[in-house]
């Protein structure tokens, strides 16, 4: 690169390379009939990461919906909903999502990231930047960007720390507009939020609540409505946000809530109004997935069965995980270099793909392997995977930084976990 005007880009990349956080993507060919085995450089490799928690990306219900919709309705949406017409599938999807979360209205965006960014930004516009936002320190980048774009004053509370949250909130008058934003299950460590604690504080101090259920929808609850639903707290949360790209296996994001709130966000959100609607077959696939998972428990059951088998085998092999109580199994590996080495070793020696997670996705020194399973993993695959991971950790002499979930603060979290685990094991 000899163009002088490009030097800032070059320096940026050189710096992240020096810091060992340059991202090399792992190229794969996904094959419908062999999933979770994919092709990588001409080899069969089994995938142990990602967020296709229920293998819905290859489910016949979803694929048939796409095929039928393409045949009858074509592909593109024709533009934005404002100027090109709002097609029926997306209205149906919004109604189905509202029903899933027992809310009055839903609003669909083209990704989960956009739904957070655009909705929180809109809340800033709607309130003339007067909303004070309280955000958990481990919230996802899309929430952080949404808060930045909202222009509102923000306060970050320590992860899941209700005392800290209350201390921050109690310094504001009761009638100041306030919003607490958090995730129901945190994507990188599998911790579940103290939702009851947040609801109590929100009620006491007259705050709005916004929960990101991206990693919980489809996977948790009788109908896949997520963790608030399991805890019977959906009606205490003002806005429930979710993704259609993880457990539901397609792409897209959404919010659900009270009709007035959703109508205001629909009207005040640049990221909703000024972008084209999702392609019709994709919306149809989302609708098929959401409606199917409201009824079918087969995929959820198998997912949970596999997760619990893996956790048991981890115990046997002495492999520590950050949260023993969720479907997101993060194995701590100290150091960006070491975690990359583990991933590489697993791929080259055992034909396994497990992505290492580095800064800035997680804090420096808290690098990890984020392991996820899906209903397509067989018992043989599970055993082979855990044996291979155990061997790799020994061979590479890996140092664990597990601090046995220091990330949890609140004493009533145990009760929450017990309730969730009890319900999931009764699936
Ligand atoms: C907590 C959380 N919220 C939102 C998103 C964005 O969702 P999507 O991938 O559908 O854009 C992610 C993505 O990983 C996430 O982890």
Residue with CA closest to ligand 1 atom 8:
112
Residue 401 pLDDT exceeds 60: no
CB atoms within 10 A of CB 423: 14
Residue with CA closest to ligand 1 atom 7:
112
Enter the DSSP assignment of 50.
S
Contact 340, 332 (CB under 8 A): no
Distance 143 CA to ligand 1 centre (A): 9
Which mutation among 116, 135, 214 tests ligand 1's pocket best, with the greatest number of atoms within 8 A of CB?
214
Ligand 1 atom at shortest distance from the alpha carbon of 187:
16
pLDDT-based confidence at residue 427 (cuts at 50, 70, 90): very low
Least confident interval from 111-115, 133-137, 202-206, 418-422: 418-422
Residue 187 pLDDT: 87
Distance 254 CA to ligand 1 centre (A): 11
Strands (E), 302-381: 329-332, 352-353, 356-357, 368-371
Residue 423 pLDDT exceeds 60: no
- Cα 302-308-311 angle, rounded to 5 deg: 140
Question: Which residues are tagged catalytic?
Answer: 246
Pairing of strands 37-40, 208-212: unpaired
- Average of per-residue pLDDT across 265-273: 96
Question: What does the pLDDT look like over 306-330, one tens digit per residue?
Answer: 998 998 898 888 888 887 667 888 8
Distance 79 CA to ligand 1 centre (A): 24
Distance 51 CA to ligand 1 centre (A): 10
Sequence spans of domains, the chain: 10-47+297-425, 60-295
Question: What does the pLDDT look like over 24-61, one tens digit per residue?
Answer: 899 999 999 999 999 999 999 999 999 999 999 999 99
Taking only Cα atoms into account, the Rg of the chain, rounded to an integer number of angstroms, comes to 22
Residue 324 pLDDT: 65
Residue with CA closest to ligand 1 atom 9:
112
Torsion of CA 387, 391, 393, 394, to 10 degrees: 140
Decide which of 3.40.30.10, 3.40.50.300, 3.90.1150.10, 3.40.605.10 is the CATH code for 10-47+297-425.
3.90.1150.10
**What average pLDDT does the structure give for the chain?**
92
Which mutation among 138, 140, 146 tests ligand 1's pocket best, with the greatest number of atoms within 8 A of CB?
140
Matching fold, domains 10-47+297-425 and 60-295 = no
pTM for the full predicted model: 0.94
Residue with CA closest to ligand 1 atom 14:
187
Distance 422 CA to ligand 1 centre (A): 27
DSSP assignment string, 80-140? -HHHH---HHHHHHHHHHHHHTT-SEEEEES-HHHHHHHHHHHHHHHTTT--EEEEETT--
Residue 417 pLDDT: 58
Which mutation among 111, 185, 243 tests ligand 1's pocket best, with the greatest number of atoms within 8 A of CB?
243
User: Which residues sit with their C-beta closer than 6 Å to ligand 1?
Assistant: 111-113, 116, 140, 142, 183, 187, 212, 214, 243, 245, 253
CATH code linked to domain 60-295 = 3.40.640.10
Spatial separation of the C-alpha atoms in residues 34 and 26, rounded to whole Å: 18
> 214: closest CA among 180, 253, 188, 158?
253
Question: What does the pLDDT look like over 91-134, one tens digit per residue?
Answer: 999 999 999 999 999 999 999 999 999 999 999 999 999 999 99
Least confident interval from 202-211, 303-312, 366-375, 407-416: 407-416
Give all strands of the β-sheet with 356-357 in edge-to-edge order. Answer: 329-332, 368-371, 356-357
CB atoms within 10 A of CB 243: 27
């Amino acid at each position: 690169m000899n163009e002088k005007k490009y030097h800032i880009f070059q320096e940026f990349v050189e710096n992240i390379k020096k810091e060992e956080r340059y991202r090399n993507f792992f190229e794969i060919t996904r094959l419908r009939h062999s999933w979770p085995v994919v092709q990588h450089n001409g080899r069969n490799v089994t995938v142990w990461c990602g967020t296709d928690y229920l293998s819905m990306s290859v489910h016949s219900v979803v694929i048939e919906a796409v095929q039928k919709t393409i045949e009858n309705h074509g592909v593109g949406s024709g533009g934005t909903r404002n100027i090109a017409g709002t097609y029926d599938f997306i209205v149906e999807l919004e109604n189905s999502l509202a029903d899933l979360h027992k809310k009055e209205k839903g609003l669909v965006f083209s990704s989960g990231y956009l739904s957070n960014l655009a909705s929180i930004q809109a809340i800033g516009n709607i309130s003339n930047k007067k909303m004070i936002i309280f955000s958990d320190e481990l919230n996802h980048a899309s929430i952080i960007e949404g808060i930045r774009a909202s222009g509102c004053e923000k306060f970050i509370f320590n992860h899941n720390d209700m005392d800290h949250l209350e201390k921050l909130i109690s310094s504001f008058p009761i009638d100041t507009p306030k919003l607490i934003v958090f995730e129901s299950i945190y994507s990188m460590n599998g911790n579940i939020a103290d939702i009851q604690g947040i609801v109590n504080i929100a009620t006491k101090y007259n705050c709005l609540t916004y929960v990101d259920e991206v990693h919980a929808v489809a996977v948790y609850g009788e109908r896949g409505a997520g963790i608030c639903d399991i805890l019977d707290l959906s009606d205490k949360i003002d806005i429930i946000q979710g993704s259609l790209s993880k457990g539901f296996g397609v792409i897209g994001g959404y919010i659900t809530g009270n009709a007035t709130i959703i109508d205001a966000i629909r009207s005040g959100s640049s990221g909703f109004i000024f972008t084209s609607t999702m392609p019709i077959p994709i919306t149809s696939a989302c609708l098929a997935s959401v409606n199917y998972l409201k009824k079918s428990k087969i995929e959820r059951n198998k997912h949970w069965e596999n997760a619990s088998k893996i956790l048991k085998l981890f115990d046997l092999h002495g492999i520590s995980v950050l949260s023993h109580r969720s479907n997101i199994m993060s194995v701590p590996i100290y150091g960006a270099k070491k975690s990359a080495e583990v991933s590489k070793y697993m791929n080259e020696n055992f034909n396994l793909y497990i992505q290492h997670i580095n800064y800035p996705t997680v804090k420096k020194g808290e690098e990890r392997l984020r392991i996820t399973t899906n209903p397509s993993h067989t018992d043989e695959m599970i055993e082979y995977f855990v044996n291979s991971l155990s061997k790799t950790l020994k061979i590479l002499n890996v140092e664990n930084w597990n601090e046995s979930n220091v990330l949890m603060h609140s004493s009533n979290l145990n009760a929450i976990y017990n309730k969730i685990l009890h319900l999931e094991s009764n699936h």
